[in-house]
Amino acid sequence: MAPEENAGTELLLQGFERRFLAVRTLRSFPWQSLEAKLRDSSDSELLRDILQKTVRHPVCVKHPPSVKYAWCFLSELIKKHEAVHTEPLDKLYEVLAETLMAKESTQGHRSYLLSSGGSVTLSKSTAIISHGTTGLVTWDAALYLAEWAIENPAAFINRRAVLPRSHRVAGRGPAEAGCLPGAQAGS
């Protein structure tokens, strides 16, 4: 594969990875670029790579999106593959079957990959209406704040955070939400 082709494939994979983990709308995915790459190659390695970057991604395995979202994504991926190739890819159907057999949770996860290499995962209700709001919007500034906090752990040593009574931090109750003296942030 030529270097520019490889770079294009990496950008495509990164686009799928970030959008899937963040549970973006399916229409925002680079489907046309995928179809073009699939037409240029009879190799199914690209689809296997997409599965590794999405439903098989370690962050997704630990904190999956809703089953419905994963099912819709995989269905669309299968449609795009079948539009270009007549031979089905068994791996796509295996992953779809696993997804369909999974128990739907009341919580889905959105994970955002940070430029520092870490990730921030939010647990969200799969209900359309949640606590009087749609619950569908994530505050973008919170992602930047989380990234800054990860990059600047010293700013949180010996500090206290005041959180609403309903919030929990890493399994700790509101009374324990302060940062521990001399502890590494995130531990």
Q: 115-138, pLDDT tens digit by residue?
A: 888 888 888 776 655 555 555 556
> In the predicted model, is pLDDT for residue 176 greater than 50?
no
| pLDDT number for residue 183 | 46
**C-beta neighbour count of 38 within 10 angstroms:** 18
pLDDT at 107 over 70: yes
Question: Does the structure show a pLDDT above 70 at 53?
Answer: yes
Structure token digits, residue 112? 């955002």
How many whole angstroms separate alpha carbon 83 and alpha carbon 76?
11
Is residue 55 within 8 Å of 16, Cβ to Cβ? no
Instruction: List phi, psi (to 5°) of 70.
Output: -60, -40
User: Average pLDDT, whole number, for the chain?
Assistant: 79
- Rounded mean pLDDT, 61-69: 93
List pLDDT tens digits, range 24-37: 999 999 999 999 99
Instruction: State the pLDDT at residue 52.
Output: 97
Three-class HEC string of the chain: CCHHHHHHHHHHHHHHHHHHHCCCCHHHCCHHHHHHHHHHCCCCHHHHHHHHHCCCCHHHHHCCCCHHHHHHHHHHHHHHHHHHCCCCCHHHHHHHHHHHHCCCCCEEEEEEECCCCCEEEEEEECCCCECCECCCCCCHHHHHHHHHHHHCHHHHCCCCCCCCCCCCECCECHHHCCCCCCCCCCC
Domain residue spans of the chain: 3-105, 153-187
